Amino acid sequence: MRENKESKLLLFRLASKQYSDASIFMHEAIARKAGLSGADHKYLGLILQHKSITAGDISKLTGLTTGAVTGLIDRLEEKNLVQRQFVKSDRRKVVVVPNVENSMNLLKPFFDDLQQKTIGLLETFSEQEIETIKRYFTEATVIMKETADQLNQK
């Protein structure tokens, strides 16, 4: 019985690694087609989750140096995907505001087919199976964020 669980865990880890690798390769391909680097594409996705965000907050969330964040913002601003805005109460402080419309116009065509296929796949699972998958991703995300935070502090 124990051996069966161990082999299932091994198969799960293999499937998880293959999923992770495929996700990276897919996002790299999307980024290239959109004229972005893979990292810039993923960081844009992070920025799009906020109405506005400071460069310092981007640095804290990503673990990037402030210099690297400045370069990221420069590249995204050049493509009109984000805009720097000064804070009126403190002109030294700058927030980054995503240009959601331009970003969606750039990225949406690459995700439409993927979205439809993913929905089709999810429709083959029971509600309980979907809840289990969601729980795994939610809890695994917490573990990965904690790991990244620990590594970024060293």
* pLDDT at site 20: 93
Q: What is the pLDDT of residues 1-39, one digit of tens each?
A: 567 888 999 999 999 999 999 999 999 999 999 999 999
Q: Is residue 149 part of a domain?
A: no
Q: Is residue 131 part of a domain?
A: no
Q: Is residue 140 part of a domain?
A: no
* pLDDT at site 153: 81
Q: Is residue 138 part of a domain?
A: no
* pLDDT at site 154: 67
* pLDDT at site 131: 97
Q: Is residue 137 part of a domain?
A: no
pTM: 0.80
| Count: domains in the chain | 1
Q: Which domain holds residue 83?
A: 2-123
Q: Is residue 68 part of a domain?
A: yes
Q: What is the pLDDT of residues 30-78, one digit of tens each?
A: 999 999 999 999 999 999 999 999 999 999 888 899 899 999 999 999 9
CATH of residue 51? 1.10.10.10
Q: What is the DSSP string of 27-91?
A: HHHHHHHHT--HHHHHHHHHHTTSS-EEHHHHHHHH---HHHHHHHHHHHHHTTSEEEEEETTEE
Q: Is residue 49 part of a domain?
A: yes
